Structure 1
């Protein structure tokens, strides 16, 4: 049964008259569990006893964002009256990074033996593992109060993206069937990400490991399982053993910022022949010179520039954001080497509405540029398209959106 149909036309036609009340929707939810979700869970090997225990006393969580209750007015689109995109530098709170680095160094020492074993098995540096641990759950200290079953079932029943969360609640039920954790202890965020690594249930099924040998993959309470699961996730996504994540760099003015992108990788040695150097003036490690590297300019010419390795894009598999991956890389360097902020400061690039950036992207698309979609988020395809357009117009490439650029493209 298609979920949308289940929401619009309840099984047997009952409860439709109550669809516009919370009580009616709650009743419809119970019917959906029994008539729609249970048959699919059963096909996946979930027993009736586990299913019933998981949903015993579970009600909808009406406080979650992005809900679309059946019979209620559709949620309004987010207003564009406020600026939604600003300088990437706002992502890098120095106070937060310093605090996480100090805790990370202490915890790396405390768990050095464990982390050494994990690094040997999976090939992922301990500093990267600890950085993600710190970013995702404050090294396991953050309160994760939500019932994952309640959050995921609410979102599968009446969110704006029900198909995604339907998959995840079914995965959560499979975890419960395997006995790794009882439903009462399956805690997650308001978005459904679980435990210290903040895995969605589907990621848990694919990547969580039992590293402490107790027969359970406990990413909620076992430090060993949580850290090894992070490492296994990155290894499964293609982490290249022995390589760094990337290096802050200097791109000379004669080299265009439009070189950016993982699809434009070339040996780091060739990039140096173009004049691209490390910010420190030191050479790139010798073993990196023959390996592929990619230019990254998250703020165009208005902030730090980088040469990154394929491992940077593996970190992005954890959270598909250039800034997230840079945050993890910088935090890992601070933990491992006592480093600090990026040398080149982030300039104040001003603010733009995402809708205006989407207009800019659409204009470039009409001119034949591949911007990666007109979604209002200036990723590397948008940034380099801006640089290429500027270069063709005889302008100095900046590779970053601006109000003046939008006017020029109109």
Structure 2
């Protein structure tokens, strides 16, 4: 390249770098103004003192490395995702990860038996379910919690796709600090702003954190007993039905439509039983469950295990809005408590799709009049049902799960 062209390119590069630096500096100034003009009045109205506010926010800067940011005047950068939830559901149940969660969970069950029993007496939530959530969220308190919560929540409140949510969570975190819950190391969180061993968002901490060790404080960072009590309290307040299971792996008759799936298509378990659904164990459904409502749940459509779940399954989803998360918790909990093995049915070779691919399918199905529950790229039960209904309309065997070949058939 000629010298002048090289020089011109270098000047342009330096100019772009300086402009980006200048822009970021301007955004940082706007951020400081936002903290003062927007967050401080909301925090003061919530009972936060100026001393607490200044201590928490005085040195805050934006964390530009967090995902999902939308700088003022800009647009979010699209991300092509390969998380397990958007690919093969079976990948969520990595054998090594499940085995480790179960092994450590059994150790914790013995070590914390009194706290688990006390939490179950108080809330009706079984200890093995609490353990499975604890293991999933923070590896029983062993996972690193690397971020400053105020920095994360401030950044996301100022420039993310959900600023109102994170601004409210920032105010909730300031209330936690005002009440003296932040330790010497400050308030530590995940990259999403979730706190402590149960990974509560700050608002959930204020609503559900519980004192399990009787010291008058709810310390979800350092106290295992408080962590156990807090998880159980959260589930109980979200509607956990004491005495009912979360669900059962089942077999379906070959001619049963997978479009019967969903929490809006429930019926008494005895009716599902009469339709030919049976437990994979060969045992009858428990007598006290047969008159209770059950829901067909097919996380991989016809390409994987099938389940009849109870309302408690959807309480688990309140903790994390993912079918696979709730299924993981129920499955690991059962293995901790009862020593059961892996799912009886295998996961089929599906997945490999990008979230954007699934969103394209959803838009095509919506154009045909099918309800997919949105076009977010998530293969939830409405999308699975819509795919099954479309397949049945075509005279195909319904699988109720997105597959690569469907894109062409849907005209995308």
**Same fold by TM (over 0.5)?**
yes
Alignment of 1:276-287 (within 5 A): 276-287=277-288
User: Aligned-pair distance for 1:349?
Assistant: 1.2
Alignment of 1:69-88 (within 5 A): 69-70=71-72, 74-79=75-80, 85-88=86-89
User: Aligned-pair distance for 1:228?
Assistant: 0.7
1:26 paired residue number: 28
1:400 paired residue number: 401
CA distance in 2, matches of 1:32, 1:365: 40
Alignment of 1:247-396 (within 5 A): 247-396=248-397
Larger deviation: 350-359 or 272-281?
350-359
Alignment of 1:9-158 (within 5 A): 20-70=22-72, 74-79=75-80, 85-158=86-159
User: Aligned-pair distance for 1:350?
Assistant: 4.2
- Is the Cα–Cα contact under 8 Å of residues 295 and 309 in structure 2 kept in the other structure? yes
Larger deviation: 78-87 or 283-292?
78-87
- Residues 80, 325 of structure 1: CA spacing in aligned structure 2 closer, same or farther, 3 A cutoff? closer
Q: Secondary structure, in 3 states, of the residue corresponding to 2:303?
A: coil
- Residues 385, 172 of structure 1: CA spacing in aligned structure 2 closer, same or farther, 3 A cutoff? same
User: Aligned-pair distance for 1:338?
Assistant: 1.3
CA distance in 1, matches of 2:306, 2:340: 17
User: Aligned-pair distance for 1:257?
Assistant: 1.1
- Is the Cα–Cα contact under 8 Å of residues 258 and 399 in structure 1 kept in the other structure? yes
Q: Secondary structure, in 3 states, of the residue corresponding to 1:378?
A: coil
- Is the Cα–Cα contact under 8 Å of residues 209 and 228 in structure 1 kept in the other structure? yes
Aligned residues: 393
Tell me the TM-score normalised to structure 2 length: 0.90
2:165 paired residue number: 164
Larger deviation: 358-367 or 91-100?
358-367
Deviations 1:78-130 (A, max 9, x none): 25899993211111110011011000001101111111010011000000000
User: Aligned-pair distance for 1:169?
Assistant: 0.2
CA distance in 2, matches of 1:388, 1:74: 36
CA distance in 2, matches of 1:222, 1:370: 45
User: Aligned-pair distance for 1:75?
Assistant: 4.0
User: Aligned-pair distance for 1:293?
Assistant: 0.5
